[in-house]
Amino acid sequence: MPQVNDTLSTIVPRLEGLHLFHFDGAPCAQRVRFVLGEKGLRRGREVKFDAVSADSIQGKDSLWTSRSVSLIKKENMTPSYAQINPNMVVPALVHDGRLYLESMDIIEYLDQAFGGSPFVPADSALRETTLTLVQQAKELHLSLRYVSFRWSLGRLAMLNPKENKNLKNLAAHGDDKENLVSFYDAYSNKGIPQHLFDEHLLKLYQAFNDLNSQLRDGRTFLMGDAISIADVFWSMKILRLIECGYLFAELHPTLYQWYQRMVARPAFQNEVMVNNRMLNRVWRSKATIERIFGLGLNNALHKLIAT
Ligand SMILES: N[C@@H](CCC(=O)N[C@@H](CS)C(=O)NCC(=O)O)C(=O)O
C-alpha cells in the first residue's frame, strides 16, 4: 500500500471520506481527477485546502471534497501544505484519515480501494510495460516544466527573494523530491534559457513521435484495448502542450486521434476540464495569436526540427 505513515499534518488524520488537494490547471492533479471520474467518484464541495471545521472534514458518498491549493498564489509553499505534502506539490489524496502522495501511487491506490477496470494492469508482464511507459512520461515532467514555464508563464511565476527564502526554509524541513528549490532558484534569477527550452522541446517531440509510431498498429489505447495509467499520464501532458500552441494534429496525427478519444471520455470533460475551460481558452488564444505573428512554440519547434 503506498500510504504515507508518518504525516506531520494535524489536518490529515481528521479527514473523513475522500479529500483531494489539487489545482485545476495542474497536469499532475488532472491525472488523479480523471481516474476519480472514471471510477464514478465525482467532485463534491469545495473547501479551503486547510479547512478543518466540523462540516468540511466530513465525507460524502461517491463524492470527493475538493481542497484546491492555488499554485498561482503559491499556497503549495505554505507551512500548512508542506506538512501535508513535504514535496510542496499537488496532488495529495486523503482517504479516511490516510494520506497518499505521488499521482502514480494515488492512482494505484484508487484501483485497490474502488475497483472498476484497473488502471495499473494486474497481469505482471503488462504491468511492467505499462509502468515503463509511465516512467518515461514521469522523466519528461521536467521537460514539460521548462517548456511551459518559458512559453506560458514567462516571468509571472518567478519567486521574489522573500518567497525564495521561504521555499528554502520549508524545503530544509521537508523532502523537496521534485527539486523545487533548485528549479525556482535558477528560474527566478534568469528565467528559462533558450538552450534548455530547445533541448526539452525536442525531447518531448521525439517521445511523441515514438508514441505516434506505436499507435499506428490501430490499437485503441497506448497499451492495447484497455485504458490504463499510461493513457492518463500522456494525455495530460498533451493537454498542457496544446495550451502552449503545440500542434499535435499536424505533427503527430495518429497520436492526436488517440488523444481525441481520451478527450471524448466523460471523465475528461467533467473532471479534468470542468473548471479549467476558461484558462484553457486563454492559453490557446494566446498561442493562436503568436502563431499568426510567426512566433510561439510551434514555430520554434519547426525551426528545431529543420536544423
Ligand atoms: N511526482 C509528482 C509530481 C507533482 C508535481 O510536480 N506537481 C506540480 C503540478 S503538475 C506542482 O505542484 N508544482 C508546484 C510548483 O511548480 O510550484 C506526482 O506525480 O504527483
Domains of the chain: 3-114 (3.40.30.10), 124-154+192-306 (1.20.1050.10)
Q: What is the structure's pLDDT at 251?
A: 96
Contacts of 110 (CB under 8 A, 6+ apart): 32, 35, 36, 39, 93, 119
Pairing of strands 18-22, 3-4: unpaired
Q: What is the structure's pLDDT at 155?
A: 85
- d(CA 28, ligand 1 centre) in Å: 6
Q: Which atom of ligand 1 is nearest to the CA of 178?
A: 6
Q: What is the structure's pLDDT at 278?
A: 86
178 in contact with ligand 1, CB cutoff 6 A: yes
Tell me which residue has its CA closest to atom 11 in ligand 1.
Answer: 89
- d(CA 94, ligand 1 centre) in Å: 17
26 in contact with ligand 1, CB cutoff 6 A: yes
Count Cβ atoms below 10 Å from residue 197 Cβ, excluding itself.
Answer: 20
231 in contact with ligand 1, CB cutoff 6 A: no
27 in contact with ligand 1, CB cutoff 6 A: yes
Report which residue type is found at 169.
Answer: N
- d(CA 90, ligand 1 centre) in Å: 5
Q: Where are the beta strands (DSSP E) in the chain?
A: 3-4, 18-22, 42-48, 63-68, 92-95, 98-101
Q: What is the structure's pLDDT at 41?
A: 97
What would the mean pLDDT of 76-100 be, rounded to a whole number? 97
Q: What is the structure's pLDDT at 82?
A: 96
Q: What is the structure's pLDDT at 279?
A: 86
* Omega before residue 91 within 30° of 0, cis: yes
Average pLDDT, the chain: 94
90 in contact with ligand 1, CB cutoff 6 A: yes
- Residue 1 pLDDT exceeds 70: no
- d(CA 105, ligand 1 centre) in Å: 14
Phi, psi dihedrals of residue 176, rounded to the nearest 5°:
50, 45
76 in contact with ligand 1, CB cutoff 6 A: yes
Q: What is the structure's pLDDT at 80?
A: 95
Q: Which atom of ligand 1 is nearest to the CA of 90?
A: 12
Contacts of 119 (CB under 8 A, 6+ apart): 35, 38, 107, 108, 110, 111, 227, 228, 229, 232
Share of the chain above pLDDT 90, in %: 83
Contacts of 167 (CB under 8 A, 6+ apart): 77, 88, 159, 180, 181, 184
Residue position matching grid coordinates 464541495: 45
Q: Which atom of ligand 1 is nearest to the CA of 29?
A: 10
What would the mean pLDDT of 289-296 be, rounded to a whole number? 86
- Residue 53 pLDDT exceeds 60: yes
Tell me which residue has its CA closest to atom 6 in ligand 1.
Answer: 89
Q: What angle do CA 230, 231, 232 make, to 5 degrees?
A: 90
What would the mean pLDDT of 184-195 be, rounded to a whole number? 93
- Residue 127 pLDDT exceeds 70: yes
Q: What is the structure's pLDDT at 257?
A: 98
pLDDT in tens, 153-189: 778 899 999 999 999 999 998 889 999 999 999 999 9
107 in contact with ligand 1, CB cutoff 6 A: no
* Alpha carbon 79 to its chain's center: 22
Distance CA 181, CA 189 (A): 12
pLDDT band at 3 (very low <50, low <70, confident <90, very high): confident
- Residue 30 pLDDT exceeds 60: yes
- Residue 301 pLDDT exceeds 70: yes
Residue position matching grid coordinates 490557446: 284
- d(CA 166, ligand 1 centre) in Å: 18
